[in-house]
Amino acid sequence: MSGRPRQNGPAQAKALQFKLVLLGESAVGKSSLVLRFVKGQFHEYQETTIGAAFLTQTVTVDGVTVKFEIWDTAGQERYHSLAPMYYRGAQAAIIVYDITNRDTFERAKSWVKELDRQARKDIVIALAGNKFDLSNKRMVEVEEGSAYAQEHNLIFMETSAKTGDNVSNVFVEIAKMLPKVEPKPNNNGQTVRIDDNQEAQNGGGPGCCSKN
């Protein structure tokens, strides 16, 4: 009897918690995406990240809450060698490029390759073409990003941290792909166990667990 979890005390279910890392060339908008997602803000002149910023954010997907521990890394090449400190062990990554800058797309591809080699095998990767609000200056066509993502089995979205377009969608899509260790209890299939004949037939006496 003591093996059954208590149900009317404080919640004891473990949090679904995932480490997510943002990677990509400098100035593609990694920190802006996080700031938009976590605080709903946008700064036109976002400070350059020199280090790795840490924030948390929870999303609810299909009734399951998923807590992200977000590591927003410095994009400058000089810090490249430090990136594994952050993507190592991460369950999810968002690789960001700037749709108005082709070089950043190429850089994004090399991040995908690096993660393929060095990151967890089950890492969920999203490719985000950011600065969608500047699509009139676009240098990378949406089809190109989408095709690359499809080929490498990545979630793909064009986003705008400035307008907020698709920002939380990226995180939500990732959350959907992440393994849910705890199965969702069935809301509709509520059954109550009561004293009934079946139990009597089973010889369910005192202390006999009726879960069979």
Size of residue set near another protein by CB under 8 A:
63
Q: What does residue 113 show for φ and ψ, rounded to 5 degrees?
A: -65, -40
Q: Which is nearer to another protein, 35 or 157 (CB)?
A: 35
Q: Positive or negative CA dihedral for 9, 13, 14, 16? A: negative
Query: Considering only residues 47-106, where is the footprint of another protein by CB under 8 A?
Result: 50-58, 60, 63-65, 67, 74, 78-79, 81-82, 84-85, 88
Q: Mark 116-141 as b/e (b = at least 16 C-beta within 10 Å).
A: eeebeeebbbbbbbbbbbeeeebebe
CA distance 22 to 42: 17
> Does 23 engage in binding with another protein (CB under 8 A)?
no
Q: Which is nearer to another protein, 117 or 153 (CB)?
A: 117
Minimum Å distance from CB 4 to another protein? 7
> Does 3 engage in binding with another protein (CB under 8 A)?
no
Q: Which is nearer to another protein, 85 or 147 (CB)?
A: 85
- Contacts with another protein by CB under 8 A lie at 1-2, 4, 6-16, 38-39, 50-58, 60, 63-65, 67, 74, 78-79, 81-82, 84-85, 88, 182, 184-187, 189-197, 199-200, 203-211
